[in-house]
Amino acid sequence: MFITRRKMLKATGERREQLNRLEKELNTADAIIIGAGAGLSTSAGFIYNGERFERYFFDFAEKYGIKDMYSGGFYPFPTDKIRWAWWARNIYYNRYADAPKPTYKILYELVKNKNYFVITTNVDHQFQKAGFDKKRLFYTQGDYGLFQSVAPTNQRTYDNEEWVMKAMAAQGFVKDIDGVFQVPEDRKIIMELPSELIPKCPDDGSAVTTNLRADDSFVEDEGWHRASAAYGSFLQEHKGKHVLFLELGVGFNTPGIVKYPFWQMTMDNEQAVYACINYGESFCPPELAERSICIDGDIGDILVQLR
């Protein structure tokens, strides 16, 4: 099935009516398959620009003219010491720090006693932090919390939490009463790491990079394949049953991972229902209009209303 965006049917119907329909599906479906994209994390407060960026990356903004956390990830920093100082902050505030808003926790409360599975392109680990069962999660695009070797023969990944904490302290960040790293009051932080903190592969000493899918060098380790198999098994187990495909904040950067498969699987299963919650991009194919629930708005606000 190939459907262009021009053929989409946007959100229709009264908000309360759509919420009632979604609430009914959440309570009656044999299985709930959640597909999550960047819009969910944006709703949870993981904003890559503006005040949040200026608070933690003001020095990089002033010296290099970087405007946001996303574009900074592609900046050609002059040294590895500076580049890894940037990445330590980026990883910490978008992976190890708690989400600014409780969006993920509210979602968990809605589905925790139901038969669910999650597939997500997000790499911030917030599903697990909110309480979701690790065995019911498939992070397709990687994890900020993992490194991989640049050596193509090495297909392992490595936890980076200990390194991140050391790298944050080395830059002069200080922990507040809740144990969260903050910029000190005098704003004196260092924009580079000492040589001994440049991360290396613990197995062979090679250089490392983040385990994020950017090209064909992305490492799909044993955990990735285990999660992929679990997702495939869950889909097969509930094939032809009353399934709610709940899409949250998925755009058109990588529609082939969540959006298009959700449409196709709903089309193939007459018992399935497709639901899309997104801000400004909530729509479905006309062929699925009668079995779709499209709600345009902030995901966190809508989940609060459902709760």
Per-residue pLDDT of the chain (307 residues; tens, 9 = 90+): 444 444 555 555 688 899 999 999 999 999 999 999 999 999 999 999 999 999 999 999 999 999 999 999 999 999 999 999 999 999 999 999 999 999 999 999 999 999 999 999 999 999 999 999 999 999 999 999 999 999 999 999 999 999 999 999 999 999 999 999 999 999 999 999 999 999 999 999 999 999 999 899 999 999 999 999 999 999 999 999 999 999 999 999 889 999 999 999 999 999 999 999 999 999 999 999 999 999 999 999 999 999 7
As beta bridge partners, residue 32 has 116, 244
Q: What's the pLDDT score for residue 285?
A: 94
CATH superfamily of the domain spanning 5-43+101-140+221-306:
TPP-binding domain (3.40.50.1220)
Q: How far is Cα 125 from Cα 123, in angstroms, rounded to an integer?
A: 6
Q: In the structure encoding, which two tokens stand for residue 90, read together?
A: 């980026």
SS3 assignment, position 154: coil
- Measured in residues, the chain has a length of 307
Nearest alpha carbon to residue 23 among 289, 250, 277 = 277
Q: Which two tokens stand for residue 53?
A: 């960026």
pLDDT of the residue at 64: 97
Strands, DSSP E only, in 128-249?
Answer: 137-139, 142-149, 157-159, 174-175, 181-182, 208-212, 243-248
For residue 8, the model assigns a pLDDT of 56
Domain spans in the chain, listed from the N-terminal domain onward:
5-43+101-140+221-306, 50-98+161-198
For the whole model, what pTM was predicted? 0.93
